[in-house]
Amino acid sequence: MTVNSEDIEDRLRTAFGWQADQVGLRPDPYAENLRRTRTSRIRRRATFPAVALATAAAAAAPFLMPWHEDQPSLNPTGGPGDLVVPSSMVRIKTGLPHGARFQAEVLGTDGSVLGRSADAAVWKAGPKGGKPSSTGVRSPKGILLTGRGLLGYAVNEPGNADAFNLMCRDSSGKTHTASPQGVDPAQPVWTDGGRIIGSDVMTQPFSATCRGPLKILAQQWTGSWSKAVAFSDPTIFYVDPTSHRDLREIDAVTGRVGAHHKLPAGVRKMKPIPNGARVDTQIEQIWWAAATPNTFAWAADGALRVTPRKAWNSAPTPITTSLPRPIKGGRTQLTAGSRLVVYSTAPTRGSGESVLYDLKTHQLIRWHGEAYTSGDWLIWRDGTDYRLARVR
């Protein structure tokens, strides 16, 4: 067995120096018109690309609330290395051929990592560490998915620079279309338990597997601002700040609506839109959500909140009210795993800022660099490279 002394030193330093047939119009013509207006506006505006894996979500509701910039800074103790098993830690290098740099964007429950270089090429890394390998795929922006036996990414429809489809490569190397009627690359898509959940360009949630079938889930719901915000198989969390003003749990297999909850604290209700009003006069509030079988977490108005799913609380005391402000033009994500919740914001290229919360010990860590968690894994930027390890 060959031992790399540089890797040993790096591990010790980190460990001790302190994650379509279903397609069609909805029955309400007025709501349908609102959706089409909103879709047109979405395609015209510049948005933050959002990607997530069984977690991160950017949700829209009106009236943008001010970000709390006057809150006291966190009192961090240690760093991400305190949260992981030292013997599982590997380094993922960012250096690529021809001087390109790898930027990690999504982490799978199997420890796989996907990211891009500046030329839109998609690269993959994993628990063995080292240099990322090319996937042979180019995806200009937005969605990336990774998990056991699949690789998901958004591509332009031929001849239409404003339209995107979600593609999925299975374990045999075959590529399939995984979106019934396209996707908005600025909206999140999740994979968990082999299932893919996202929203089409009219914000209708859809369910798919890499090899099909594809199914639109929400034709019976007509709220023009409604959308999926998080997913933990088989439950989709779907918010409606307009007509019902609540957060619902929907079964991705049956399409049935389960539990109803109040809108999460910090998420603004929307006043009914009178007939004839233009949707693009409304101001959207951007917030993020993440879910696991046991936990629902969200970040809104600079505050991070967490509730156990079995003892739901729509307005728990914030974990912190001083989350880093989202980086304009970058990627902001909230991810949740078996033990951690991680808020992260990063520019398209370069290092970001993160806040990591341990659900068991309640330890809160602020970190200079992006970080993501999924299942039992945590990835974080450490200098110019990344560290990947199992959560302890």
Q: Is the pLDDT of residue 105 over 60?
A: yes
The pLDDT score that the predictor gives to residue 92 is 99
Are 220 and 229 in contact, with CB atoms under 8 Å apart? no
pLDDT tens profile 244-295: 678 999 899 888 888 999 999 999 887 666 654 545 455 668 899 999 999 9
Beta carbons of 222 and 28 less than 8 angstroms apart: yes
* Cβ–Cβ < 8 Å for 197, 252: yes
Give tens-digit pLDDT for 133-163: 999 999 988 889 999 889 999 998 888 888 9
Query: What secondary structure does DSSP assign to 35-59, as a single string?
Result: HHHHHHHHHHS-------SSS--EE
- Which of 68-72, 96-100, 114-118, 253-257 is predicted least confidently? 68-72
How far is residue 121's CA from residue 353's CA, in Å, rounded to a whole number? 24
pLDDT bracket for residue 60 (50, 70, 90): very low
User: Over the stretch 174-208, which tens digit does the pLDDT of each residue have?
Assistant: 999 999 889 988 889 999 999 999 888 887 888 99
- Residue 364 phi, psi dihedral angles, 5° rounding: -120, 125
Query: Which residues, 6+ apart, have CB-to-CB distance to 366 below 8 Å?
Result: 73, 74, 76, 353, 354, 355, 356
Residue-by-residue DSSP string for 160-196: EEEEEEEEEEETTS-EEE--BTBB-TTS--EEETTEE
Answer yes or no: are the C-beta atoms of 92 and 104 closer than 8 Å: yes
Per-residue pLDDT of 322-349, as tens digits, reads 999 999 889 999 999 999 999 999 998 8
Residue 355 Cα to chain centre, angstroms: 15
How, if at all, do strands 160-170 and 175-177 pair?
Answer: antiparallel
Mean pLDDT, the chain, whole residue set: 81
Show me where the domains of the chain are located.
5-263+271-284
State the pTM of this model: 0.80
Here the tokens at position 67 are 């970000």
Tokens (6 digits) for 38? 């909103």
